[in-house]
Amino acid sequence: MINLYSAQIESLSIHRVGNKSKAEGLFVSNDPYPLTDEITPLIKEFFFKPFREKEENYYKFAHEQDLEFHTLYNIVTKIFETPGATHLLSEEITKHLYDQSEHPHIKAGELYIAHIENVSIDNQKVDAIGIFKSELKQDFLQFKENGSNLEMMLEQGINLNKLDKGALILNYKQEEGYKVLSVDSNRYDTKYWLENFLSVQMFEDDNFYTKKYLKFCQDFAKDVVLPAEDKKEEVLFMNRAVNHFAKNDSFNESAFVNEVIDNPDLIPEFRHYKTEQAPKYSIEDLTDFPISNQAVSSQRKKIKNLIQLDTNIQIKMDFINPESAEKFVEKGWDEEKQMYYYLIYFNKEQN
């Protein structure tokens, strides 16, 4: 888990990158930008806020042959080894981005490259390289006094509440390609940023495995448990699955299957579903791994715990106490009305 609370920007370089296919060129600043007490907190919030709000999905630099041929990996490694060379090496990063800016949809913009210290990840303090790009300009009004009148001027600038693109490259897990976080507010050119410029792939750690396995379970519940049983059992299966992950530090597939799958007939179905679908989730050989509590909490929020009825009634299950649904909710069939029903037991209504 990353924590940017104590992070400090030690140096900042600002350049401008145009669209190469439109011959817009690039502008490289001679010197680093001199940060002041006034601008520093504003620029930190501009850079870091999207990463605090976004779910942590880590990437790593990857190359089909070897990382020694990865352009950005080599540049940031030099910066981590010699932080004093950040500005000089930021020019190489800018030129690398410019070389990838050939699609006509790619917008020109300012590129900010920062060397950052005191970033906390997995309870370790590391430095980081921040690469941020602002593209979309917004209109705003400026006012000035002119004699006895107040004049209004229309200008354009950057909205400090919205970063268009950003990447945090953490000086962590270097041998595996570093841990990299990315944000992109403009989805139309994600390939250009993630694939062409950063050249990354998902970082397969406990966070990745936990999320992928829970997503696999969610689809198994929808594709197999629901057709075989009913919506209540689909929800209860996911209740048990999430709670199994929440109460364990490590995952073992045999223990999971024995605890979570109530219906023995569904166990071979689970095995078959995994054999068929595992490549989709990158869990082909995954049977044991450490569990990420953060990933469990994140995935829990995405899992629906509602039974939505066609009579405009919803029944909400409790993920914390799934046994309540098993004890106090019964499903039946009313011959007279020719309708299904849920019978719910309780002692008193709560406010």
- Residue finishing a domain among 177, 203, 229: 203
Task: Please tell me whether residues 101 and 195 are part of one structural domain.
Answer: yes
Mean pLDDT of 125-137: 95
Q: Give me the mean pLDDT over the 43-54 stretch.
A: 92
If pLDDT is split at 50, 70 and 90, which confidence band does 294 have? confident
pLDDT (tens digit, 9 = 90+) per residue, 192-222?
A: 899 999 999 999 889 999 999 999 999 999 9
Find the mean pLDDT for residues 306-323.
Answer: 75
pLDDT mean over 322-331: 72
Same domain? 187 vs 211: no
Same-domain status, 243 and 274: yes
DSSP symbols for 188-205: GGHIIIIIIII-EEE--S
Residues 37 and 93 in one domain: yes
- What is the pTM (predicted TM-score) of this model? 0.81
H/E run at residue 42:
helix 39-53
CA 145 to each of CA 139, 153, 282: distance values in angstroms, whole numbers, following the listed order = 20, 11, 63
Of 166, 181, 203, the one marking the end of a domain is: 203
- The per-residue pLDDT for 348 is 83
In a domain, 39, yes or no: yes
Residue 107 tokens read as 């917008």
Are 43 and 28 contained in the same domain? yes
Tell me the average pLDDT across 278-296: 90
**Which pLDDT score, from 0 to 100, does residue 295 have?**
87
| 196 and 219 inside one domain | no
**How many structural domains compose the chain?**
2
Say if residue 319's pLDDT is above 60: no
Same domain, 164 and 273: no
Q: How confident is the model at residue 323 (pLDDT cuts 50, 70, 90)?
A: low
* Cβ-proximal residues to 69 (8 Å cutoff; 6+ apart), any chain: 63
Eight-class DSSP state of 309: -
Lowest mean pLDDT across 28-32, 235-239, 324-328:
324-328
**pLDDT recorded at residue 322:** 58
Q: Which residue has the higher pLDDT, 85 or 331?
A: 85
Q: Are residues 232 and 332 in the same domain?
A: yes
Q: Do 199 and 236 fall within a single domain?
A: no
C-alpha to C-alpha distance for 188 and 206, rounded to whole angstroms = 30
State yes or no: pLDDT of 181 exceeds 60. Answer: yes
Residue 350 lies in a domain: no
Residue ranges making up the domain that contains 301: 207-344
Number of other CB atoms surrounding residue 160 within 10 Å: 13
- Do 17 and 161 fall into the same domain? yes
Q: Does a structural domain hold residue 349? A: no
What pLDDT sits at residue 310? 86
Residue 324 has pLDDT above 70, yes or no: no
Q: Are residues 223 and 258 in the same domain?
A: yes
**214 and 312 housed in the same domain:** yes
